[in-house]
Amino acid sequence: MENARKNPESSSEENTAHLRPSKNRFDGATGLRELMLLELQALYFTEKMLVKAFPKIIKNACTFELIETISQHADTTKKQIIRIEDSFEELTEKPIMQRCEAIENMLDEIEQIMDATKFGIVRDAGIVLSLHKIEHYEIAAYSILETYAENLREEQIQQWIHLSLNEEKIAQMKLAKIATTLRFYRESNH
pTM for the model stands at 0.81
CA distance 153 to 111: 40
Residue type at position 170: I
Q: What is the pLDDT of residue 26?
A: 65
Query: Looking at the predicted structure, is the pLDDT value of residue 188 above 60?
Result: no
CA distance 162 to 146: 6
Query: Looking at the predicted structure, is the pLDDT value of residue 189 above 80?
Result: no
Q: What is the pLDDT of residue 28?
A: 74
Q: Where are the alpha helices (DSSP H) in the chain?
A: 2-10, 12-17, 28-60, 64-90, 101-116, 121-151, 155-181
The closest of 73, 74, 82, 44 to 160, measured between CA atoms, is 82
pLDDT in tens, 83-118: 999 999 999 999 999 999 999 999 999 999 999 999
The closest of 156, 164, 112, 107 to 138, measured between CA atoms, is 164
